[in-house]
Amino acid sequence: MLTEEHLKILEKKACEIREDIIKMLLEAGSGHSAGSLGMADVFTALYFSVLDHNPKNPNFEDRDRLVLSNGHIAPVLYATLAHSGYFPMEELFTLRRIGSRLQGHPHFGSLPGVENTSGSLGQGLSQAIGITLAGRLDNKKYWVYCITSDGEHDEGQTWEAVMFAGKNKLHNLTNIIDRNNIQIDGFTEDVMPLEPLKEKYESFGWHVLEVDGHNIRAIVDACRQAQAILEKPSVIIAHTIPGKGVDFMEADPSWHGKFPSPEQAKKALHELRTLKGKIVSEHE
Amino acid sequence: MRETVLNSKIFDSDIEKISMRDGYGEGLLEAGKNPDVVALSADLKQSTRVDSFAEKFPERFFECGIAEQNMIGIAAGLALNGKIPFASSLAVFAPGRTWDQIRVSVCYSKANVKIVGSHAGISVGGDGATHQALEDIAIARVLPNMAVVVPCDYIETRKAAVYVAEHKGPLYLRFARGKTAVITTEATPFKFGQAEIFREGKDVTIIACGPLVYYCLLAAKELEKEGISVQVINNHTVKPIDKLGIAKAAKETGAIVTVEEHQIDGGLGGAVAEVLAESYPVPIERIGVKDTFGESGHPRELLDKYGMGVKDIKEAVRTVLKRKGTS
């Protein structure tokens, strides 16, 4: 259980991570704003409450693993890793620069804390399954979290992986879907409808949880609930607002692959600072 | 003569023929003594001879169903956490169908995954063009961090499979479906990255990989009667290719013929041409499939029709010797 005090710290942390995302994207001059901002609360909940990890010893064998499948939201992963202490904060602003360890999409081996390579969509859940199987063979108890986007559920490979995990009852695998309803060409339900997503996963043998992706307490609780399901893999459908925290970016598909101009960044940072850490949930 | 380490019955009509995939199955089983070795199949465990491994080590075998892309991704995840996965399928599917997964999930991460492609080459026969992998060497060798091994017979495939488990990093192992002549013996050297001279000669060198090495030896023997001294090199490691060995052969014999069951562009022929152009340019003729798809037929008929028979190899040698004489 999160105490009220801890929750306040996490909410403030999520806002700081959002500020750093804006600054990184501005500095980089390219990158994906909407998904990165939208997942800040989920990443904060995972790295500051749920995951058993150690930034000072990033490769210890029993650590929980986080596999990022939709690699284009790398800024939120990098910002969260830096805030956790995996590498110096100032390195965040080398994102996408030549020679940087912060590649435009995550690269296994370049940066401590990055567990997989992604960028071509639909591959992460398969990798997460491999990591889960390796743990099973070694009698490890670690948990594997995979972050997927809703849009990448268009990829056939995602469903190959969903079938495999269901068949093998990989209970220590939790897939967290960023259900923000947008993809590059528009809204997911226009481009390629995914609904009924919950029923699809259920019929593939998964335990399904749905959560407000901006309610940190609810996210932490859902992860704990998933840990209590021992006969199935779990999926947490995290309903998020793309661009969350920056009014003019929210729920606008055009911000999927865009980065802010200096004026827009200034406005965004002002908004985020005014929020003082409190993201208001749209679902409450 | 190096021939002493090859099968003494090599020129007999009743030379023993065994399927290379049997060699893979046996090699994988032996490699399985290492508890980190795991095997994955996409509904082809019998066809790829992974079944004996699956029987002996059921906890280390993963059946993925007809889902090769997922299989490669799972293999990558296993490898990043200390396992040595062998992901086996038909070569048209792995690496063919799964190239992006191999590129991103495996090669870019330097994941220690072994991609195993069976049923490679036109001699897969009756199944026709869809199942005849003729581009797989090209698409595998172009990938950074990837090694490519193409053994020449049953025994060498077994040796290669055992070696592959020791190799660090992504590797593609390619072999054929049908029974092919067993030309090597237990004593024949197999060293990763080192082209092996199977027959010495001074006028021309044939550089080959896969089961067609046998045809090259037959062609060399027949050409001897015409007074042509042919060297035959078994170039089982297509990447990293033995640049020194190839340049030496070019320097010593002055003409090269490449032979493979693959498109001549991008495969072994392409790789050897690149080495020669950069190190020691000599005339080269390339035997292989020439920018076309295959078709159904008996393996022998197909090899003849598509220009990879003993007759074609001999003709290529004569052609390259003419060019050598005039250059």
The reported pLDDT for the residue numbered A155 is: 98
In a domain, A71, yes or no: yes
In a domain, A282, yes or no: no
Helical pair A124-137 and A156-167, crossing angle rounded to 10 deg: 20
Residues of A in contact with B85 (CB under 8 A): 130
In a domain, A244, yes or no: yes
pLDDT band at B325 (very low <50, low <70, confident <90, very high): confident
In a domain, A161, yes or no: yes
Confirm or reject contact between A157 and chain B (CB < 8 A). Answer: yes
Indicate which residues of B carry an active-site annotation. Answer: 68
Cα A43-A49-A51 angle, rounded to 5 deg:
75
Q: Alpha-carbon torsion B14, B18, B19, B20, what sign?
A: negative
Provide the number of structural domains found in chain A.
1
Residues of B in contact with A135 (CB under 8 A): 81
Size of interface A-B (CB pairs under 8 A): 109
Flag whether the ipTM exceeds 0.90: yes
In a domain, A281, yes or no: no
In a domain, A113, yes or no: yes
Residues of A in contact with B80 (CB under 8 A): 108, 115-116, 127, 130-131, 134
Report which of A113, A140, A145, A123 is spatially closest to residue A226, judged by C-alpha positions: A145
Contact B69 A160 (CB under 8 A): yes
Residue A30 tokens read as: 């390219």
- CATH number of the domain within which A52 lies: 3.40.50.970
Q: Is the pTM of this model over 0.90?
A: yes
Contact B80 A115 (CB under 8 A): yes
Contact A133 B75 (CB under 8 A): no
pLDDT in tens, B63-75: 999 999 999 999 9
B residues 6..45 contacting A (CB < 8 A): 38
In a domain, A175, yes or no: yes
The reported pLDDT for the residue numbered B3 is: 55
pLDDT band at B1 (very low <50, low <70, confident <90, very high): very low
Report which of B44, B42, B38 is spatially closest to residue B58, judged by C-alpha positions: B38
pLDDT in tens, B119-147: 999 999 999 999 999 999 999 999 999 99
Query: In which element (H, E) is residue B276 found?
Result: helix B268-279
pLDDT band at A284 (very low <50, low <70, confident <90, very high): very low
Query: How far is A40 from B168, CA to CA, in rounded Å?
Result: 37
In a domain, A283, yes or no: no
Domain range for A230 = 4-275
Domains and CATH numbers, chain B: 2-13+186-326 (3.40.50.920), 17-181 (3.40.50.970)
